[in-house]
Amino acid sequence: IEGFAAEGGLHSAAFLFDLGEKFKDRLFENWKEFTMKFELAFGISPIPTRSKSQGLTGCSSHRKRGLVSMSQNKRAHAAPLSEVKMDNFKRKINLLGSTGSIGTQTLDIVEERPENFEVVALAAGSNVEMLVDQAVKFNAKMVCVRDETKYSELKEALESAGWKGDVVAGEQGVVEAARYGDADVVVTGIVGCAGLLPTIAAIESGKDIALANKETLIAGGPVVVPLLKKHNVNMTPADSEHSAIFQCLQGRHDGTLLKKILLTASGGAFRDWKAEDLKNVTVQDALKHPNWDMGAKITIDSATLMNKGLEVIEAHYLFGVEYADIEVVVHPQSIIHSMVEFGDTSVIGQLGWPDMRLPIVYALSWPYRLDMKYDRLDLVKLGSLTFREPDRKKYPALDLSYAAGRAAGTMPCVLNAANEAAVELFRAEKIHYLDMPKVLESVMERHKSDWRENPTLDDIVAFDKLARVHAKEFVAVPL
């Protein structure tokens, strides 16, 4: 022990601990005595739980790799608390929503780190030209277009490009793409509840989930969380706020009291508008996010603060925290992506420029951190960080989200479906911006008589469809 300690470094510690554990019955009369001497020599406490390839991972400080392990059997929430089991750090990816914002940024990461990531399957909505370019560039083995009318066009374009592989289409095609081949992880970049069934298919096939589709947990949490445990699958968050929380929790030991989650919100397009001016909002106004470059749906959700309300429900399912302990704070600079408060009142936050590639790369690489050539955060250049309480009268969708989350069962699913329908109606200029929370409240009220406490997957799918019908039946009151 003294010799290895003199040599120094955690590589020596890892080797010694592996050797000691392997031969402990022959070499040591007292295993506890060995671990005590080990701690004195190296200044770290060995916890003998690690994957074969990773060596020593469970050290109380300055860990070589990974997380302190926590029992999978105790897990009642989605975010993983044990080590990712890999023979080496090369992850194969099935990418759903490849031509959207999440998808293109994921492929940017694959292009920058080909030694760590490889594309297996790609699924997109209807952009055939971009999908063909992606399939050829990243040598995908399967390609799917969700719009079935584009199937022939896609197949012909791929053949013309000299690409060979499996081509599928439609909703079932997306499900097939999710569980296709030998991929290690599925990036769920599909917008809305359309990502639920593909995510379940991926979980059932034993693939880890890099969750960029929050609606999967919001609508399907009662079904998805038990499946993660059943199939021993990890779900890592790929959105900025939940990635921040996830990163802040690395190194947290089992039993450490998590007091509160602080979800930060930019405030969206109308954070500096007076409430009385919102009657003049147009669709184009709602699509102008001050900080983030995102898709249209999530940008509008940010404008109503509905996105933050949905993230409150997602945080509940991911981290097992009660709604009373999840607080939303408006942070206009979008530099602190979220924070956690522990029982001793310590608060840990994760900081970075507003760049969606950061949470995506961590969701894919966890528990490793990669050297990425992104702009480094300059706090002096930034100058100051500010915070304020959200205006709940100006943003009624936030309280509606808390109410749906506390109701649990099928209510979050109905809230999510009604919101997706309301955003579609608003983008089509069939309702006004101020009508969107009214749609949610109306649909939630109608659902109270049909509410299910412990829904099945069939229940969730059925109520999702019904809520969309009810949302479209909403009659807007003239302003």
Residue with tokens 């039993």: 255
Binning pLDDT at 50, 70 and 90, where does residue 35 land?
low
Calculate ∠ Cα 198-199-205, nearest 5°.
90
Binning pLDDT at 50, 70 and 90, where does residue 445 land?
very high
Binning pLDDT at 50, 70 and 90, where does residue 34 land?
low
Rounded to 5 degrees, what are φ and ψ at 172? -65, -30
Question: Helix 411-427 crosses helix 457-472 at what angle (to 10 degrees)?
Answer: 40
- Which residue has better confidence, 92 or 1? 92
From the list 469, 467, 461, the residue with the least C-alpha distance to 171 is 461
Lowest mean pLDDT among 26-35, 88-97, 299-308, 432-441: 26-35
Contact yes or no for 158/143 (Cβ under 8 A): yes
Q: What is the pLDDT of residue 30?
A: 61
Q: Which two tokens stand for residue 39?
A: 């701690």
Average pLDDT value for the chain: 86
- Which residue has better confidence, 34 or 327? 327
The DSSP H or E segment spanning 96 is strand 91-96
Q: State the DSSP code for 390.
A: -
Q: Is the pLDDT of residue 380 over 90?
A: yes
Share of the chain above pLDDT 90, in %: 72
Question: Helix 31-42 crosses helix 10-22 at what angle (to 10 degrees)?
Answer: 170
From the list 274, 303, 288, 344, the residue with the least C-alpha distance to 433 is 303
Q: Is the pLDDT of residue 359 over 90?
A: yes
**In b/e form, how buried is each residue of 413-450, taking b as 16+ CB within 10 angstroms?**
bbbbbbbbbbbbbbeeeebbbbbbbbbbbbbbebbeee
**Paired residues of 330 in beta bridges:** 265, 388
Q: State the DSSP code for 110.
A: H
**Paired residues of 188 in beta bridges:** 96, 211
For residue range 448-465, what is the model confidence (pLDDT) as tens digits? 999 999 999 999 999 999
Q: Is the pLDDT of residue 387 over 90?
A: yes
From the list 437, 351, 442, 357, the residue with the least C-alpha distance to 396 is 437
Binning pLDDT at 50, 70 and 90, where does residue 288 land?
confident
Contact yes or no for 148/169 (Cβ under 8 A): yes
Contact yes or no for 467/418 (Cβ under 8 A): yes
Parallel, antiparallel, or unpaired: how do β-strands 166-169 and 185-188 relate? unpaired
Binning pLDDT at 50, 70 and 90, where does residue 51 land?
very low
**Paired residues of 166 in beta bridges:** 142
Q: What is the pLDDT of residue 75?
A: 55
